[in-house]
Amino acid sequence: MRTRYKVLITLLFLLALPNLGYLSMVMMAVPEWAFFSKGKPAAPLAVESVPSVKDANGIEFVWIPPGRFKMGTPFGADVNQDEMPQHMVTISRPFYLGRYEVTQAQWEGLMGNNPSEFKGADRPVESVSWEEVQLFLSKLNGKVGAEIYRLPTEAEWEYAARAGTETVRYWGDGSEEMDQYAWYGDNAGKRSHPVGQLKPNGWGLYDMLGNVWEWCQDWYGTSYADLPVTDPQGPAEGSGRVIRGGGWNGYASHLRAAYRFELNPAHRRRNLGVRLLMEKR
């Protein structure tokens, strides 16, 4: 009898062994299980020490250095396929990115209208389509000056959002500190909030996660597999443009540096706004 039990136990162990390995991979990759995280949070950095400039329109920009980062998400049970494969990407040129999302005052000052549902001069402009943002950019670039304005590519956006971190969010892997950094479904009160009220990331950028989604320049693609790894621009064509960052009505699980979504460029949403990238001519 004892020999039979030993054989039975051995067989059960051998059957369970492959599943134990799979379970360990899942536990390493699921964002909320921070104990198993391989992330590397950025060292604390005083916001005052990050170089920034303010243009003639009153929009403040933060200097983002060139560098390499891990774009996307590793394997995980609750991760979307379009965030994989995680891969190294090089951003070869520095750029300036808006410290804040474009406000309603800044939009109205140039466009003469305010389409936002949640009115407030220092709240982010929202309910603007990708196509309307292109008109905004055209007016900015039509002014005489040394600056060129555009939307960030989603690679530039994620690189800036991570600010040197490899964790799920730029403050860590868990959601315990989220209320300190992001407006989302649990704390936003079903509306947007004035920009810059919560903590920034390590490069001094506010509301990179939460408050309103942000348009990116790229067409949306379902995989990173065929894209260049240096300054990727996204697919050559598509039906939807990429949006990043999550909004005031989002789930905590959607507020991640790698989370991505697509939207028809003609569509507007009350939780969708814009953050500008500036280059020197």
3-state secondary structure the chain: CHHHHHHHHHHHHHHHHHHHHHHHHHHHHCCCCHHHCCCCCCCCCCHHHCCEEECCCCCEEEEECCEEEEECCCCCCCCCHHHCCCEEEEECCCEEEECCCCEHHHHHHHHCCCCCCCCCCCCECCCCCHHHHHHHHHHHHCCCCCEEEECCCHHHHHHHHHCCCCCCECCECCCCCHHHHCCCCCCCCCCCCCCCCCCCCCCCCCCCCCCCEEEEEEECCCCCCCCCCECCCCCCCCCCEEEECCCCCCCHHHCCCCCEEEECCCCCCCCEECCCEEEEC
The residue that leads in pLDDT, 3 or 22, is 3
Mean pLDDT on 108-114: 97
β-partners of residue 219 are 241
Per-domain residue ranges of the chain: 1-30, 38-280
| 11 vs 41 pLDDT, higher one | 11
User: What fold is seen in the domain 38-280?
Assistant: paralog of FGE (formylglycine-generating enzyme) (3.90.1580)
Nearest to 85 by CA among 73, 69, 93: 73
pLDDT in tens, 66-98: 999 999 998 765 678 999 999 999 999 999 999
Sheet holding 52-54, edge to edge: 52-54, 60-64, 95-98, 277-280, 147-150
Is 141 or 281 the better-scoring residue by pLDDT?
141
pLDDT tens for residues 145-198?
878 999 999 999 999 999 999 999 999 998 899 999 999 999 999 999 999 999
Q: What are phi and psi of 260, to 5 degrees?
A: -140, 155
Residue range 24-38, pLDDT digits in tens: 333 333 333 332 234
How many Cβ atoms sit within 10 Å of the Cβ of residue 217? 20
At residue 30, the pLDDT reads: 34
pLDDT in tens, 13-27: 444 444 433 333 333
Residue closest to 251 by CA, chosen among 183, 200, 169: 183
Q: What is the mean pLDDT of the chain?
A: 86
- How confident is the model over 215-236, as a mean pLDDT? 94
**Residues of the chain with pLDDT > 70: what percent?**
81
pLDDT (tens digit per residue) in 246-271: 999 999 999 999 999 999 999 999 99
Residue 21: CA count within 13 A, CB half-sphere: 5
Residue with tokens 């309910």, as numbered in its chain: 127
pTM recorded for the entire structure:
0.84
Q: Given CA atoms 242, 158, 198, 194 in this order, what sign does their dihedral have?
A: negative
φ, ψ at 198 (rounded to 5°): -105, -175
- Higher-confidence position of 8 and 136: 136
